[in-house]
């Protein structure tokens, strides 16, 4: 290699490492109605990429947030699909290039756990949003366990502190008791829930170093001005409220609730911030904490099964691990169509894992071995789209009309790499689906194939029911509503659904399918990926068949 080529290669590696260093890619997770979309909007407001928050005071004046683009989301005020926002942010006093924030807002409803799980495979950290009045709720607990299993560090935000709620120490104790995660306060509330005056910023020893007082704005639609005081000044300004806050953090510090970066990255502790996303109180403190503490993009391992399969094949070597400075690679975590009626296309959301992505570059689809061009590549801000020329590890890029891509797929340049596949959740709800009008059958099939490839629901077929009456399988029934709503909005196909008498699904094989299909209360289907799926009437029916035919294959459909 010539000196100039070597210098160019070294310069490229240095550039990728530098760009990865300033990336922060995270998801916001919470129970429904904890304020995720409102917080997402507030974070964008504080980064000065929008001028007014989408949620304004009073239901009559409520606007749709940037991240909620489906009509169904706007009508119900909940998120039912994940969305990605990318923007730059520089904390006050920060020198050098600003941080590049890749924020993924996730569905709140439990019926969309699978979509949220996919998002969590594409981020480096999570913000766990907790309602100050309700505390930890079932969906929060479930999502925490997924984060823990994936080794995702968590920053905890107690939201809605402007409303009456629990005592702050009670919430800390609840988090420790329920999920075994030790909160380490960085910003502690001054004023009880419902009387949110400001935040005490704590130093490394857990002692109040500064008082930040917030001033309300009309409807919380703009950034809340701040006033800063020393601890001595705070005692005069807030009297009893400051003293109470100081006593509470003293108790926590004595109990060892201090931030330790290693323990945070190990998912043992969680930096804690109190906020009101609706009033924009404590929001830039969340961004500052993410920039300072959340991990930058790191390496990713290849799928062990692919490595093992390739080890004995000539010329089939696969990288064991992809470092951020290696050749380009990315993983698709979501496929979405119909985001904009002006663009009837399909968008594959890809997380850049390694190297520099350049629009138009030729890449290889690991699953098929085929090459394709990335001519149409976008960055997204909610529903809005902008052509992207290049991107780096941690960035989320949308590939347009990449019809061969599905969630979990790997694309790469250079030496082959293939990341772990995207697991599917075990469905618990089942309904048949058919077009209301026979004349719409062609559009029905097209819509079915598209939405199936996106993973909106799992589609099951068998000869007895035929292609015109497939079965939808989902984690929860609201997914069926999304399926029908999108079929109507995007393909002008009205559909009818009907319940079927099954509640349990198991994976089976060809050798077992025949006998299982002869069992009363059991029906065999083929899923779109070729897997054979047996549906059972209920868990007791499954238990009976397992007892009578232990030789048959009936494997749970669970996420890895």
Known binding-site residue numbers: 105-109
CATH number, domain containing residue 109 = 3.40.50.300
Residue 423, domain member (yes or no): no
Residue reference for tokens 């004995």: 312
pLDDT digits (tens, 9 = 90+) for 108-132: 545 455 677 788 889 999 999 999 9
- Based on the fold, state whether residues 377 and 477 are members of the same structural domain: no
Per residue of the chain (560 residues), what is the pLDDT tens digit?
Answer: 545 444 456 668 999 999 999 999 999 888 878 888 889 889 989 888 877 765 433 333 334 444 444 454 445 444 444 567 888 999 988 998 999 999 987 765 454 556 777 888 899 999 999 999 999 988 788 778 878 888 899 999 999 999 999 999 999 999 999 999 999 999 999 999 999 999 999 999 999 999 999 999 887 888 999 999 999 999 999 979 999 999 999 999 999 999 999 999 999 999 999 999 999 999 999 999 999 999 999 999 998 888 888 776 555 688 899 999 999 999 998 877 655 555 556 788 899 999 999 999 999 999 999 998 898 888 766 567 788 899 999 999 989 877 788 888 999 999 999 998 876 667 888 999 999 988 888 999 988 987 887 777 889 999 999 888 999 998 778 778 888 888 898 889 999 999 999 999 999 999 999 999 999 999 999 998 899 999 999 999 999 999 999 999 999 886 44
Give me the phi and psi of 510, to 5 degrees please: -60, -40
CATH number, domain containing residue 512 = 3.30.70.3280
What's the domain range around 467?
429-556
pLDDT of residue 5: 46
pLDDT digits (tens, 9 = 90+) for 516-546: 999 999 999 999 889 999 999 999 999 999 9
Question: What percent of the chain stands above pLDDT 90?
Answer: 57
> What does the DSSP assignment read for 472-541?
EEESSTHHHHHHHHHHHHHH---EEEEE-S--EEEEE-HHHHHHHHTSTTEEEEEETTS-EEEEESSHHH
The reply to whether the predicted model has a pTM over 0.85 is no
Residue 7, domain member (yes or no): no
Which residues neighbour 76 within 8 Å (Cβ) at sequence distance 6 or greater?
none
Residue 463, domain member (yes or no): yes
pLDDT of residue 196: 96
Known binding-site residue numbers for GTP: 105-109
- Based on the fold, state whether residues 241 and 165 are members of the same structural domain: yes
Q: Pseudo-torsion of CA 182, 188, 191, 192, nearest 10°?
A: -10
Residue 419, domain member (yes or no): no
- Based on the fold, state whether residues 499 and 402 are members of the same structural domain: no
State both tokens at 231: 């601890």
- Based on the fold, state whether residues 61 and 153 are members of the same structural domain: yes
Angle CA 383–386–388, to nearest 5? 130
- Distances in Å between the alpha carbon of 121 and those of 152, 236, 538? 9, 48, 31
**Residue 116 burial (10 A CB sphere; 0-12, 13-18, 19+):** buried
Rounded to whole angstroms, the Cα distance separating 446 from 250 reads 62
pLDDT digits (tens, 9 = 90+) for 323-332: 999 999 999 9
Contact 432/448 with Cβ under 8 angstroms?
no
- Based on the fold, state whether residues 123 and 262 are members of the same structural domain: yes
- Based on the fold, state whether residues 371 and 445 are members of the same structural domain: no
pLDDT of residue 58: 35
């Amino acid at each position: 290699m010539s000196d100039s080529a070597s210098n160019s290669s070294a310069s490229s590696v240095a550039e990728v490492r530098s760009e990865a260093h300033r990336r922060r890619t995270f998801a916001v997770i919470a129970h429904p109605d904890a304020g995720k979309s409102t917080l997402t909007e507030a974070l964008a407001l504080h980064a000065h990429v929008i001028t007014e928050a989408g949620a304004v005071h009073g239901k009559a004046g409520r606007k749709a947030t940037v991240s909620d683009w489906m009509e169904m989301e706007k009508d119900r005020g909940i998120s039912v699909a994940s969305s990605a926002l990318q923007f730059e942010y520089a904390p006050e006093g920060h020198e050098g290039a600003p941080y590049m924030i890749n924020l993924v807002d996730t569905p709140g409803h439990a019926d969309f756990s699978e979509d949220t799980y996919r998002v969590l495979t594409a981020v480096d950290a999570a913000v766990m949003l907790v309602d100050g009045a309700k505390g930890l709720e079932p969906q929060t607990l479930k999502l925490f366990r997924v984060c823990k299993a994936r080794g995702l560090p968590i920053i905890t935000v107690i939201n809605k502190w402007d409303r009456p709620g629990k005592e702050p120490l009670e919430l800390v104790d609840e988090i420790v008791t329920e999920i075994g995660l030790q909160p380490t306060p960085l910003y502690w509330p001054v004023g009880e829930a419902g009387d949110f005056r400001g935040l005490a910023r704590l130093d490394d020893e857990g002692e109040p170093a500064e008082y930040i007082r917030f001033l309300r704005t009309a409807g919380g639609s703009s950034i809340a001005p701040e006033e800063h005081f020393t601890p001595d000044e705070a005692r005069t300004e807030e009297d009893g409220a400051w003293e109470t806050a100081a006593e509470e953090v003293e108790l926590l510090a004595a109990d060892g609730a201090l931030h330790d970066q290693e323990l945070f990255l190990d998912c043992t502790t969680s930096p804690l911030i109190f906020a009101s996303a609706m009033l924009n109180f404590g929001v830039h403190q969340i961004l500052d904490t993410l920039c300072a503490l959340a991990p930058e993009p790191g390496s990713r391992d290849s799928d062990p099964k692919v490595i093992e399969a390739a080890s004995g094949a000539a010329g089939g070597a696969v990288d064991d691990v992809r470092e951020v400075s290696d050749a380009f690679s990315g993983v698709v975590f979501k496929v979405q169509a119909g985001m904009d009626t002006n663009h009837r296309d399909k968008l594959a959301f890809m997380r850049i894992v390694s190297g520099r992505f350049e629009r138009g570059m030729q890449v290889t689809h690991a699953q098929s071995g085929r090459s394709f061009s990335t001519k149409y590549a976008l960055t997204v801000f909610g529903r809005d789209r902008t052509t992207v020329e290049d991107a780096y590890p941690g960035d989320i890029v949308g590939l347009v009309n990449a019809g061969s891509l599905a969630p979990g797929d790997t694309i790469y340049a250079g030496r082959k790499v293939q990341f772990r596949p995207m697991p599917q959740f075990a469905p618990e709800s089942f309904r048949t689906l058919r077009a209301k009008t026979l004349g719409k059958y062609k559009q029905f099939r097209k819509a079915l194939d598209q939405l199936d490839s996106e993973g909106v629901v799992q589609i099951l077929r068998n000869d007895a029911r035929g292609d015109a009456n497939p079965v939808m399988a989902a984690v929860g029934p609201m997914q069926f509503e999304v399926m029908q709503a999108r079929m109507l909005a995007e393909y002008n196909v009205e559909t009818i659904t009907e319940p079927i008498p099954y509640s349990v699904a198991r994976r089976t094989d060809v050798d077992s399918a025949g006998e299982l299909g002869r069992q009363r209360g059991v029906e065999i289907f083929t899923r779109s990926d070729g897997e054979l799926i047996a549906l059972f009437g209920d868990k007791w029916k499954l238990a009976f068949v397992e007892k009578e035919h232990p030789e048959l294959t009936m494997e749970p459909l669970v996420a890895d």
